[in-house]
Amino acid sequence: MKSEELRSLQAPLKDQYREQPESALITLKAEGRLGEGISCKVETGRAIAEAGLHPATGGNGLLVCSGDMLLEALVACAGVTLVAVATAIGVELKGGRIRAEGDLDFRGTLGVAKDAPVGFKNIRLFFVLDTNATEEQLQSLAKLTERYCVVYQTLTRGVSVETSFDRQ
């Protein structure tokens, strides 16, 4: 896609959101169903991913780990954002790889050590790009990708999460 095509696709949306800010507020949803054993089937829009325990917590490794899914969501969002930003500012990307790594101390998840946090202690995001972009353009890509990547911003900013438990 060329930058002109992207701009023409996004221009009416941007105009609408400027004129009617409330139309830009959209609720994304995910749903899952409890599966057999210790698992949860999550509808991804294209398929159903069955999540289960990580082997470090007693899982057999045959089901996807929700921690992996979080990192995958970060990689996917950062990749799409990067390509959109590169397209918008006219930087050619011939290819590339994006990788996310996160450190977990499973003592926290298993309740073995109260001082061990539950959740990722650190997450690292790596980009290796095949491009002729200048150093200045790479810095712009990095800055804009970080700024506009929804998952990155949610993780780095934090967000309140409310829970509700009801009976069927």
Q: Is residue 125 part of a domain?
A: yes
CA distance 15 to 168: 43
Specify the number of domains making up the chain.
2
Do residues 89 and 131 touch, judged by C-beta distance below 8 A?
Answer: no
Q: Are residues 55 and 108 in the same domain?
A: no
By residue range, what is the domain housing residue 48?
A: 25-64
What's the predicted TM-score (pTM) here? 0.86
Q: Is residue 83 part of a domain?
A: yes
Do residues 98 and 85 touch, judged by C-beta distance below 8 A?
Answer: no
- pLDDT per position in the chain (168 positions), as tens? 888 898 898 899 999 999 998 988 888 777 778 777 777 888 887 888 899 999 999 988 899 999 999 999 999 999 999 999 999 999 999 999 999 999 999 999 899 889 999 999 999 999 999 999 999 999 999 999 999 999 999 999 999 999 999 999
CA distance 42 to 48: 5
